[in-house]
Copies of this chain bind each other. A is one copy, B any other.
Amino acid sequence: MNRRQLLSWIGTGLLALWLPLAPVHAQPDPLPSWNDGPVKQAIVDFVGRVTREGGPDFVPPPERIATFDNDGTLWAEQPIYFQVEFALDEIRRLAPQRPEWKDKEPFLSVVAGDLKSILVAGEKGLLEIMAVTHSGMPIDEFTKAVRDWLATARHPTKNRPYTDLVYQPQIELLSYLRANGFKTFIVSGGGVEFMRVFAERIYGIPPEQVIGSSGVTKFEIGADGKPTILKEPEIEFIDDGPGKPVGINRFIGRRPIFAFGNSDGDLQMLQWTAAGNGPRFMGIVHHTDAEREWAYDRQSHVGRLNKALDEATARGWTLVDMKRDWRIIFP
């Protein structure tokens, strides 16, 4: 035995001693905020199956597309969608410069903080609020307004910045999927230009992987010769319900193998995912924790989960029981 053989033999011996310990030491739990149980197991099993090279369920990395709804799936959505809170705050911020709003609804109620009157005024008032805060400016200006708002605004009851109200277990799930060669996308009814401001920082999802609702935009060269993209008031695309598979087809061009939602607005995305060939994972967050978060489903005005709850049960999709399955909710 020469020196090289000896070293090699010692090396192998050490490796043999080390191996039985390796799983415990080398691989910390990638989903520490998920409680052990059937849901966590289903996720880990699925990822194991599609990444096992040579296995019957192996999926090549470029086809490992995972899509997530945002409101109620990646961050909270109560008492109203955070983007609506942004719009209401924007009205208050802009009101001093807009004397024409002084005696006009819905602006009067917004400035007075009278949420009930706004809701009574109905959809027309809300659409007007969304239009004046989301159009009529260059895209850069809108992005700045969202960034400024996120830096200072706080949730009315949780008293934390909105970006703190993301779900820690889902942040871990996104990272876990990416570490296993998945490409993670947001597919949300929320405004695409709103979500892109924070999606990269809080979810690790770059702007080009955020799909959402959008308004018409227009390219223009200003008097100063500088090109801008202007946000126009017309709605261009509603990325909700049947709009979700349409958006997935338009923006990704490939069918997801993994999709997560929390409401009836996600049903068609889940159906479209389920109908593909090969292994599939369909998940739904069920809001069951009135203490740590909120509890709501079939009757909720925000994030109603009714038809999709029936279909998930009937078809054996994975239902996350927030109270049971999530050890930690917010970071």
Contacts and interface: CB of A to CB of B under 8 A. Distances in A.
Nearest to A271: B227
A229 to B, nearest CB: 5
Interface stretch (A29-37, A93-101, A214-222, A291-299): A214-222
Contacts of A208: 65, 183, 185, 208-209, 251-254
A109 interface: no
Nearest to A249: B229
A246 interface: yes
Given A206-B62, A227-B268, A192 B242 contact: no
Contacts of A217: 246, 249-250
A287 interface: no
Contacts of A250: 192, 214, 217
Interface in A217-276: 217-219, 221, 226-227, 229, 242-243, 245-246, 249-254, 268, 271-272, 275
Given A208-B208, A219-B243, 4 more contacts: A183-B208, A208-B209, A208-B252, A217-B249
Contact of A252 (B200, B207, B254): B207
A111 interface: no
A283 to B, nearest CB: 18
B253 A192 contact: yes
A193 interface: yes
A227 B245 contact: yes
A214 B251 CA distance: 11
Nearest to A183: B208
Contacts of A192: 250, 253
Given A227-B275, A268-B227, A254 B207 contact: yes
Nearest to A243: B219
Interface of A: 62, 65, 139, 183, 185, 192-193, 196, 200, 206-210, 214, 217-219, 221, 226-227, 229, 242-243, 245-246, 249-254, 268, 271-272, 275
A65 to B, nearest CB: 8
A133 to B, nearest CB: 19
Contacts of A62: 200, 206
B253 A210 contact: yes
Of A62, A185, A207, A226, the most chain B CB neighbours within 10 A belong to A207
Given A208-B252, A210-B253, A253-B208, A242 B271 contact: no
A229 B242 CA distance: 10
The 5 tightest CB contacts between A and B, nearest first, are A207-B253, A219-B242, A208-B252, A219-B245, A196-B253
A210 to B, nearest CB: 7
Contacts of A246: 217-219, 229
A315 to B, nearest CB: 11
Contacts of A65: 208
A294 to B, nearest CB: 30
